[in-house]
Amino acid sequence: MRQAPSLDLVRRAVEVDAAYTLARMRVLERLAGNPIGIGYQCKENVTALLAKNLPSPWFNRVVGLRGGQADKIEPLVEWYRAHDMQPRFDIASGEDAGALGRELAGLGYFQSGWHAALIGDAENVVAMQDTAVERVMTAEVMEDFLAAYVAGWDVAPSWSDQFKTNVRPWLHEPGWALYLARVEGRPAATTILYMQDNVGYLADAATDPAYRRRGLHAALLRRRIRDAHDAGAALVFSGADFLSTSHRDMERAGIRLLFLRAIWTRLG
């Protein structure tokens, strides 16, 4: 039975998203000398993420702010400013967006976009089988995973070798399952299932541009939902750009919109 939307579910989705991103950043933090400049603050329900030498908004953002916490925003802005970084703030619909938004606007931020957060009942889609996807279990297959991942995310050739070095530890991270889809034996698409407290988070899907529009994203989606169910998950969460191909694939698989994140970025 599909669960009715609630603020508790919204907050659970925010928590598992933050936990997955933090797990990725801790892998980078373990690199000798912390060359990416990883930092973070986790206070109460608010997580602030910092990757000083990796200017991706996903690793330089604040998540989890709730109604009544507008006073937390300016100290966080100052923390990022001390590191010469400008963060993104993700505000979930259902929270007191008015007060939070007024505070952000007063500090020079504006709402620059939307991101969809989705939810599904894992048991309702367990019958969707797909044999074209393999679980990454060995170092050899991990190299194929990396080849497709780098192509899917258009990692610059000059950064590719270091990027692969940074990502190889994912194979052994607790709670992670990595997947690879092939086309005629060639590595074509990748994705991750992250499990936390019997909830599955469908993360980080990427397809080599040469193999797009072949249903690989949908196949990876079905496999992760099935495996999440088999691992004891009743719910799965995910995220996608609103009305993107990924969003539509999820809706077709029975994963429905739970809420929208308002994305706030600094003017200029």
What is the full per-residue pLDDT of the chain (268 aa) written as tens digits? 466 789 999 999 999 999 999 999 999 999 999 999 999 999 999 999 999 998 889 999 999 999 899 999 999 999 999 999 999 999 999 887 689 999 999 999 999 999 999 999 887 654 445 557 999 999 999 999 999 999 999 999 988 999 999 999 999 999 999 999 999 999 999 999 999 988 999 999 999 999 998 889 889 998 999 999 999 998 999 999 888 888 988 898 888 999 999 999 998 7
In a domain, 134, yes or no: yes
What's the confidence (pLDDT) of residue 126?
Answer: 47
| Residue 166 and residue 94 share a domain | no
Q: Is 132 part of a structural domain of the chain?
A: yes
The per-residue pLDDT for 130 is 53
Helices (H), 30-87: 73-82
Domain coverage including residue 84: 7-116+261-266
pTM of the entire predicted model: 0.90
Q: Report which of 267, 218, 211 is spatially closest to residue 246, judged by C-alpha positions.
A: 218
Q: Which of 175, 182, 184 is nearest to 147 (CA)?
A: 182
Regarding whether 185 and 92 lie in a shared domain, the answer is: no
Query: Are 46 and 92 contained in the same domain?
Result: yes
Q: How many domains does the chain have?
A: 2
Q: Is residue 1 part of a domain?
A: no
Q: What CATH number has the domain bearing residue 196?
A: 3.40.630.30
Half-sphere exposure of 243 (CA within 13 A, CB side): 2
Regarding whether 130 and 60 lie in a shared domain, the answer is no
Structure tokens at 51: 């990757």
- Residues 135, 110, single domain; the answer is no
Domain co-membership, 249 together with 144: yes
Residue by residue, DSSP assigns 160-198 as HHHHHHHHGGGGG-TTEEEEEEEETTEEEEEEEEEEETT
Query: Residue 2 domain-assigned?
Result: no
Q: At 103, list the tokens.
A: 């505070």
Cα separation, 1 vs 121, whole angstroms: 7
Can you tell me the distance from the alpha carbon of 16 to that of 118, in angstroms, rounded to the nearest whole number? Answer: 12
